[in-house]
Chain A
Amino acid sequence: MEANADASESDAFRPLLLAACLLPLLLVAGLGRPARADALEDVRARKVLRYGSDMEGGGPYAFPDPRSPRGAAGFEVEMMALLADELGVTAEFSQGQWDQLLSVLDSGRIDVVVNGYEWTSARLRDHLATRPYYVYQLQLMGRKGGSATRWADLSRPRPDGRRWTVGVLVGSAADAFAHERAGETIEVVRFDGVTDAMLAVQNGQYDFTLQDLPAVLFYRERYPGLELVGPPESRGYYVIYARKEASALRDALDEALGRLIASGELRRIYEKYGLWNEAQEELAEISGPIEPVSGRRELWGWELLRRYAPRLGDAAVVTLGLSFASMPLAMALGLLIAVGRLYGPAPIRAPLAAYVELIRGTPLMLQLFVLFYVLRLPPWVAGIAGLAINYSAYEAEIFRAGFQAVPRGQMEAALALGMPRGLALRRVIAPQAVRIVIPPVANDFISLFKDTSVCSVITLVELTKQYSILANSTGGVVEFAAATAVLYLLMSVPLSWFSRWAERQADAGFPKGGATA
């Protein structure tokens, strides 16, 4: 394996080929990243330090300020205000999706990332970190009265023989911690938000959630059905991340942090939020950035892809499964709705029209949330049902248009031959409508296929989510972006071919149709 890796790295052609394929991607990435000699100078010149954070992750880090809901509150918000003050500038909060903050940092739209981002070797490959500003621990939470008393209990099988389910924030230290220990007795379920996982556990959808202690302390009162399980596990550091070339900015922040720690100002913030504990004593003992264990990315290009190919493959199967399970349902549902609206009695037409408007007029993500968190359906059921319901509204409109495009005379001719209305619909109108709607329906299928990525909000790790996880944990953004794009194309292009083939098959008057049955 070692020799292989060396051989492929020394092979100058493959990276070149890869680079050629990815040129457009790199260009786009490059455009968003203007060469910046000194981020510190920039910050001082504009007198604003922009930091990326995600209010969805919530308290106590950064959350909408209850007193002025347009502003942000949280211990990190207060800390950044002090740090900016030390640099002689003002701090500016910038909202971003938590697991994408480092990508936003790379794009140059923000100067630093501060949002409970843990110190990890992987992140240090492409970014700089300050000294720690908080020592975090991981805390297991479960429903009150559960059988487990500490993390170690999860290594025993669940009484019913199934695996314990543990919800984590995707890409967090808890994710890595649980993933390493997952296996025969533990299944990791990834959430986009801290509170989503807590809600799902309180709902009884999953057994536990493993969270950073600060979040647990902040939110425990909001979820009275949950309790802390055992003592905190593991231990790590929150650090501020800056771009690789922004060493002056990093050093300045480092010094400022040192002053806040020494003066006790940082401690006062932590005490205000109930976050101070003995573990924080260590902050004063670490005088500078912690060096990575190994600063080098271990795997590149094909090697990296080959290593993680099974995970991408699994995710592609999830994407395909969601698509092929939901689209037929959406079409069947849409057909019923269209027929009901066109030919049904008046009392059912109005509710059907309302259904279409309601479903078309609200986002898929919201519908998924309702199915998953309110109706508490299992993720697969919620995902398939959500996509099917969402697309049924669009299919209904397509079918309605298709039926209406069949000339009136066709229905009249069928009726004049003594056919009941239903038979005429089925035998005469529907086959002609189908021909008309094949292209738009195929188009929607491809669109649904890509919309399956929204299902990541209800813990389904499909292709896009898997890309995000892998890109963040390995640093192989370009490799995985390319591989993911290729996988999507490999799956969607045959769909286009199939649709064109179906169109040809359905084309009326094709020369050698099976006339004499």
Chain B
Amino acid sequence: MIEVRGLVKRFGPVEVLRGVNLNVGEGEVATLIGPSGGGKSTFLRCLNGLEEFQGGSVTIGGLGLDVHQRPADRERVARAIRQRVGMVFQTFNLFPHQTVLQNLIEAPVQVLGLPRGEAEERARTLLDRVGMLHRLDAYPRQLSGGQQQRVAIARALAMEPRVMLFDEPTSALDPRMTAEVLSVIADLAGGGGWTMVIATHAMSFARRVSDVIHVFDAGRIVESGSPHQIFEEPGHEATRGLLAEVHAA
């Protein structure tokens, strides 16, 4: 489903990604763990074209981004990818001038051309799934962080993507709200059907939901494996350090 080859990303002189290779199969739940600044977020943002990269290629569902494309072509492909790939941000990024319902039907109506009634129907189903149906008419600022993130997840799902990217979805939340959001994501992961790539610091969550865990360190994937391998038999020094920190905390 997702195939990344030799991805290189630089911010000025700083090399954030130094040749990342990664495959994610159809329906697979992959988590990216690693220290802050290890390149997880940047990597996710390269997948759906929010970030340009300087080397390598990304292929998602047959659509390819690489460094040789002209800007117009690149933008066209990125848009096609984004319609199949949903993304959930660390800071939710709900549209503050729209209600919960309006947030959910905006893209389906404007981008997919869905009839309004159908879009609302879909929105209600999804809001029910994330437990937010009762706040249909609320504005984002009237919701807690956890509630906002659950709405943001439903908003991404409303485009019926085949792939979901989660960029540290609980880093801006307190423990109680973190738990409610993680349970929603775990529910989606368990429900099957979606290919998911999740950047997270929540280790026990990663252990619980992942098919594969990739450890990022200093712009590279230093180790990949099943949760059991990573947590019980960590092969790389960076992984061991990461786990030690978690145990200490």
Binds B, one of A51-59, A295-303, A405-413, A469-477: A405-413
A417 touches B96 (CB 8 A): no
Contacts of A431 in B (CB 8 A): 97
B102 within 8 Å of A by Cβ? yes
Contacts of B87 in A (CB 8 A): 413, 416
B95 touches A410 (CB 8 A): yes
A517 touches B137 (CB 8 A): no
- A interface size (C-beta, 8 A): 25
CA distance A432 to B152 in the complex (A): 18
Beyond A427-B106, A515-B136, is A418–B82 a contact (Cβ under 8 Å)? Answer: yes
A417 touches B107 (CB 8 A): yes
B110 touches A419 (CB 8 A): yes
Interface membership of chain A positions 402-430, coded 1 if the CB is closer than 8 angstroms to chain B and 0 otherwise: 00000101101111111111010001100
Which of B50, B99, B136 touches A412 (beta carbons < 8 Å)?
Answer: B50
Which of A407, A410, A419, A516 touches B107 (beta carbons < 8 Å)?
Answer: A419
Distance in Å: Cβ of B101 to nearest Cβ of chain A:
6
From B110, B116, B141, residue with most partner A Cβ within 10 Å: B110
Which of B101, B137, B156 touches A417 (beta carbons < 8 Å)?
Answer: B156
Contacts of A416 in B (CB 8 A): 48, 50, 82, 85-87, 89, 156
A435 within 8 Å of B by Cβ? yes
B102 touches A517 (CB 8 A): yes
CA distance A435 to B98 in the complex (A): 13
Which of B79, B94, B137 touches A420 (beta carbons < 8 Å)?
Answer: B79
Which residues between 115 and 173 of chain B lie within 8 Å of chain A, taking CB atoms? Answer: 116, 136-137, 139-142, 152, 155-156, 159
Which of B99, B110, B152 touches A515 (beta carbons < 8 Å)?
Answer: B99
B83 touches A515 (CB 8 A): no
Assign chain B's interface to a size class: 35 or more
From A418, A516, A517, residue with most partner B Cβ within 10 Å: A418
A516 touches B141 (CB 8 A): no
A29 within 8 Å of B by Cβ? no
B110 touches A509 (CB 8 A): no
B89 touches A513 (CB 8 A): no
Beyond A417-B82, A417-B156, is A423–B136 a contact (Cβ under 8 Å)? Answer: no
Contacts of B96 in A (CB 8 A): 432, 508-509
Beyond A412-B89, A415-B82, A418-B111, is A515–B106 a contact (Cβ under 8 Å)? Answer: no
Distance in Å: Cβ of B169 to nearest Cβ of chain A:
13
Distance in Å: Cβ of A506 to nearest Cβ of chain B:
8
CA distance A407 to B136 in the complex (A): 24
Interface membership of chain B positions 175-209, coded 1 if the CB is closer than 8 angstroms to chain A and 0 otherwise: 00000000000000000000000000000000000
Name A430's closest neighbour in chain B (CB-CB): B97
CA distance A428 to B106 in the complex (A): 9
Name B94's closest neighbour in chain A (CB-CB): A413
B139 touches A413 (CB 8 A): no
B97 touches A508 (CB 8 A): yes
B97 touches A423 (CB 8 A): no
Distance in Å: Cβ of A432 to nearest Cβ of chain B:
6
B91 within 8 Å of A by Cβ? yes
A517 touches B107 (CB 8 A): no
Beyond A423-B110, A423-B111, is A418–B95 a contact (Cβ under 8 Å)? Answer: no
Q: List 29 A-B contacts (CB under 8 A).
A: A407-B91, A409-B91, A412-B93, A413-B87, A413-B89, A413-B94, A413-B95, A414-B107, A415-B50, A415-B82, A416-B85, A416-B89, A417-B155, A418-B79, A418-B83, A418-B107, A418-B112, A423-B110, A423-B111, A427-B106, A428-B95, A432-B95, A432-B97, A435-B97, A508-B97, A509-B140, A513-B99, A515-B101, A515-B137
Binding site for B on A (CB under 8 A): 407, 409-410, 412-421, 423, 427-428, 431-432, 435, 508-509, 513, 515-517
Q: A416-B82, A417-B156, A432-B96 are in contact. List 4 more A-B contacts (CB 8 A).
A: A412-B50, A413-B93, A417-B82, A509-B142
Binding site for A on B (CB under 8 A): 48, 50, 75, 79, 82-83, 85-87, 89, 91, 93-97, 99-102, 106-107, 110-112, 116, 136-137, 139-142, 152, 155-156, 159
Closest 7 pairs (CB-CB, A-B): A413-B93, A515-B137, A418-B83, A417-B107, A515-B99, A509-B139, A416-B87
